[in-house]
Amino acid sequence: MPIPWATSGLDLHVELAGRRSRRALEEGLREAITSGRLAAGAPVPSSRSLARDLGLARNTVAEAYGQLGAEGWLEARQGSGTRVAPTPQSVPSGTSPARSRRLPYDLRPGSPDVASFPRREWLAASRRAWLEAPDPDFGYGDPAGLLPLRQQLASYLSRARGLRAEPGHIVICSGFTQALGLVCAALGPHRIALESHGLPVVRAILADAGWAIETVPVDEHGAAVGSVGDATVMLLTPAHQFPLGAVLGARRRRAALEWARGTAGFVIEDDYDGEFRYDREPLGAMQGMDPEVVIYVGTASKTLAPALRLAWLVVPAALAPPIAQAKRRADTQSGVLEQLTLAEYLRTNGYDRHVRRRRTAYRRRRDALVQLVTETAPKCRIEGISAGLHALITLPSGATEEQALALAVRRDLALQGLATFSAEGQEAAPGLVVGYASPAEHAFVGALDRLGEVLRELST
Ligand SMILES: Cc1ncc(COP(=O)(O)O)c(C=O)c1O
């Protein structure tokens, strides 16, 4: 039941839902923050006055403030009282019940920890690059992208991902999603082989472009490339299958390249999270094995932030002109200011340092997730943990994804089931695709605790 309160200093409406406990107060305050009613930086009443207004013990309010402070929602400043922290949680909108409202805890896949975006470094690189860029850079330019960025990427990708990349074969675009659209436009309708599980938007883009789709099953070694029918293009996520998590084995990589050579076709390599590899020896991109049959796509969406909309295609020589032309028709060129900044960030090795820092942080989170599952929910299986930013948790027998999502929403946790990523007729055992990179650092432990509660409840 909503209770509006007027205090001598500040009015604060807290939803206690009829409960008068510390937990109810914490939930009410989180709701006020995540719904945007309490904006970043907004002051909250003193614990004394809120306790008086709500009829709670002052200690109860102080403890709730303390807990929200530890989780990063609130900030206590000497002399200026308690305020909402500057970067409250925000959850992208979507279609599942969990997505229709913003939840304070989010373990859905697809996003890095955007709170870790290196704002100061990015700004410093922007400042340097923008001040030094020649005037013509601010006019219409090459649709393939700014040459200094393509040069920096060619050298970074060759060094860090094992590509054989030349600046003349690189096209800068706004995300993998645009890259795929450009390939469709440049090649014209084809028949494409897709992994049995993947991003739904990929199917939509291909269908819009009039491409025929066939499905390739995926097992623990990645896509079973030997079972491709009469497709002439194959789309793979070799570094870390999305969402099942397998790494494409060496034999299958060779087989896919042989298939492309034999059919005069192409492999599209979606290297969306290839920088994040934890357990095994670093595994280079397939493109390095045969640059003439692989259309490689990398993106800054996982290493930096999806909002940048910066990605790069490295294409066989013959495809560079038609793909650049498709880019011109799509939107003339990608924004030059972000391109200049990324070029400078790469040039000064800031990008490398940032990726290395994030790799260490995500490995720690991955370890904590594995420990949670093995120690508290042994009936669940966790897979796909050697790389990337997500893992697959298979549910105990008898449990459904709907149950898991509903239990999670009740705990203010957004989760995503595997079924949303399955091609028709390819449904696998019920599972959760857990994006352990998504929460901000301060919310990660809380998110994991809630996931643990959900898995335990499903196991009983
Ligand atoms: C499999 C896969 N590929 C590519 C991307 C990156 O897409 P974009 O570069 O358009 O942000 C994602 C992001 O979630 C992804 O999951």
* Model confidence pLDDT, tens digit, residues 375-431: 999 999 999 999 999 999 999 999 999 999 999 999 999 999 999 999 988 888 999
> What pLDDT, on a 0 to 100 scale, did the predictor assign at position 112?
98
At residue 96, does pLDDT exceed 50? Answer: no
Distance 294 CA to ligand 1 centre (A): 18
Q: Of ligand 1's atoms, which has the minimum distance to the CA of residue 109?
A: 14
Q: Which residues line ligand 1 (CB under 6 A)?
A: 110, 175-177, 199, 237, 242, 270, 272, 299, 301, 306, 311
Distance CA 286, CA 290 (A): 7
Nearest CA to ligand 1 atom 3: 272
Contact 271, 297 (CB under 8 A): yes
Q: Is the pLDDT of residue 92 over 90?
A: no
Q: What is the pLDDT of residue 33?
A: 82
Given a cut of 80, whether residue 36 has pLDDT beyond it is: no
**Cβ neighbourhood burial of 460 (10 Å; 0-12, 13-18, 19+):** exposed
* Distance between CA atoms of residues 237 and 430, nearest Å: 21
Task: Report DSSP state, residue 249.
Answer: P
Least confident of 38-42, 201-205, 239-243: 38-42
SS3 category, 87: coil
Instruction: Calculate the alpha carbon distances from 379 to 17, 372, 459 in Å.
Output: 34, 12, 6
Between vectors from CA 370 to CA 402 and to CA 199, what angle results, nearest 5°? 50
Distance between CA atoms of 148 and 343, rounded to whole angstroms?
6
- Average pLDDT of 446-456? 97
Pairwise CA distance, residues 8 & 27, whole Å:
24
Supply 240's token pair: 């870390």
The mean pLDDT value of the chain amounts to 91
Vertex 298 angle, CA 277 and 425, to 5°: 80
- The yes-or-no verdict on residue 64 having pLDDT over 90 is no
Do β-strands 311-314 and 294-299 pair in parallel, antiparallel, or remain unpaired? antiparallel
Q: Evaluate if residue 94 carries a pLDDT over 50.
A: no
Q: How many CA atoms lie within 13 A of 228 on its CB side?
A: 28
**170-173 and 311-314 strand pairing:** antiparallel
Distance 297 CA to ligand 1 centre (A): 10
Max CA distance (Å), the chain: 79
Distance 300 CA to ligand 1 centre (A): 9
Q: What is the pLDDT of residue 87?
A: 60
The pLDDT of residue 89 is above 50: no
Q: Which residue has the higher pLDDT, 313 or 73?
A: 313
Above 70 in pLDDT, residue 442? yes
Q: Could you tell me the pLDDT band of residue 93, with boundaries at 50, 70 and 90?
A: very low
State in Å: Cα 287 to ligand 1 middle: 18
The residue whose C-alpha atom lies closest to atom 2 belonging to ligand 1 is: 272
460 pLDDT exceeds 70?
Answer: yes
Helix (H, G, I), strand (E, B) or coil at 264: coil
Main-chain phi, psi angles of 365, to 5 degrees: -65, -40
- Cα-to-centroid distance, 50 and ligand 1 (Å): 44
Query: Of 299, 313, 334, which is best to mutate to test ligand 1, by the most ligand atoms within 8 angstroms of its C-beta?
Result: 299
Kindly report the pTM of this predicted structure. 0.81
Between the CA of residue 375 and those of 362, 368, 411, 440, 456, what are the distances in Å?
A: 20, 10, 21, 24, 10
Predicted local distance difference test score (pLDDT) of residue 361: 98
